[in-house]
């Protein structure tokens, strides 16, 4: 399988497993990755998801273009693998262990929390090849990184190193080689230790209000707050707080 899926301690690890192609994604891998988003979302035992690549050379070099030269429309414009926000309601973390280019960076931008190795390289080289970044980065990058940082990545196609990625907010942390997945698992475990309903509704509110005018977004917050207050999970959390115990998750 080109996508490996494993579960431990309420955390799913999804691994792109094509090291011979720098974990580039062919159509089978894209289909399997989309299935993995849906599988993790449907499993009530899963509280956080980590995306990484096999080895320490590459996270993902993006779409494996040699598989799509005759029919680029099979991957462009909207393969669901590149849009986990549409099917995965749970927190998604990236453990970037090397090259993170093109579709790899587009997947990275879809992740909520991102940890990178010191030797990682990032970039959106599509314009250098006359291609459009169809995995959502033309929308995500300006919202996540600010206009000027996003436009430099999107329009030049030039790569950046991990230090620069940290400076512009493309990643949260940069750690030594070999510590990427363990560090990401520590963060995922902290998330998984929280009541899952609260985590899920916080992420949903953040996504739904992204880019929405402030007044409209605050109205949405009121709605989410009411929904949260009425949930049985919230009632249990309040009782647990009053009784000085951990809530029953």
Q: How deeply is 154 buried, as exposed, middle or buried, from its count of CB atoms within 10 A (0-12, 13-18, 19+)? A: middle
Looking at 85, 118, 126, 219, which residue is catalytic? 126
Q: How deeply is 57 buried, as exposed, middle or buried, from its count of CB atoms within 10 A (0-12, 13-18, 19+)? A: middle
Identify the helix (H) or strand (E) that includes residue 205.
Answer: helix 196-209
Contacts with 163 (C-beta within 8 Å, 6 or more apart), sequence order: 174
**What is the distance, to the nearest Å, from the Cα of residue 204 to the centroid of all Cα atoms in its chain?**
14
Residue closest to 28 by CA, chosen among 64, 56, 2? 2
Whether the Cβ atoms of residue 97 and residue 58 lie closer than 8 Å to each other? yes
Looking at 45, 106, 216, 248, which residue is catalytic? 106
Residue 126 is among the residues annotated as catalytic for this protein:
yes
Whether the Cβ atoms of residue 184 and residue 94 lie closer than 8 Å to each other? yes
Whether the Cβ atoms of residue 130 and residue 149 lie closer than 8 Å to each other? no
Residues 179, 162: Cα–Cα separation, whole Å = 14
Rg for the chain, CA atoms, rounded: 19
Residue 118 is among the residues annotated as catalytic for this protein:
no
DSSP for 93-127, please give it: EEEE-SEEETHHHHHHHT-SEEEEETT-EEE--GG
Active centre residues (catalytic):
106, 126
């Amino acid at each position: 399988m080109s996508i490996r899926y494993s579960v431990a301690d309420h955390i799913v690890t999804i691994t792109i497993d094509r090291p011979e192609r720098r974990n580039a994604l062919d159509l089978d891998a894209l289909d399997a990755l989309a299935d993995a988003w849906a599988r993790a979302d449907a499993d009530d035992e899963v509280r956080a998801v980590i995306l990484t690549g096999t080895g320490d050379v590459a996270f993902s070099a993006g779409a494996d273009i040699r598989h799509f030269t005759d029919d680029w429309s099979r991957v462009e414009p909207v393969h669901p693998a590149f849009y986990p926000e549409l099917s995965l309601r749970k927190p998604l973390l990236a453990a970037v262990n090397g090259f993170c280019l093109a579709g790899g960076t587009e997947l990275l931008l879809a992740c909520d929390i991102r940890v990178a190795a010191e030797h990682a390289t990032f970039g959106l080289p599509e314009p250098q090849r006359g291609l459009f970044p169809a995995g959502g980065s033309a929308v995500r990058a300006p919202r996540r990184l600010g206009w000027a940082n996003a436009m430099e990545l999107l329009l030049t196609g030039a790569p950046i190193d991990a230090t620069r990625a940290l400076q512009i907010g493309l990643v949260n942390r940069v750690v030594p080689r070999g510590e990427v997945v363990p560090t990401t698992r520590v963060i995922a475990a902290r998330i998984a230790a929280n009541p899952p309903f609260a985590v899920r509704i916080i992420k949903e509110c953040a996504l739904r209000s992204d880019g929405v005018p402030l007044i409209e977004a605050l109205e949405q917050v009121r709605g989410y707050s009411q929904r949260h207050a009425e949930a049985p999970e919230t009632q249990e959390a309040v009782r647990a707080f009053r009784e000085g115990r951990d809530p029953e998750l």
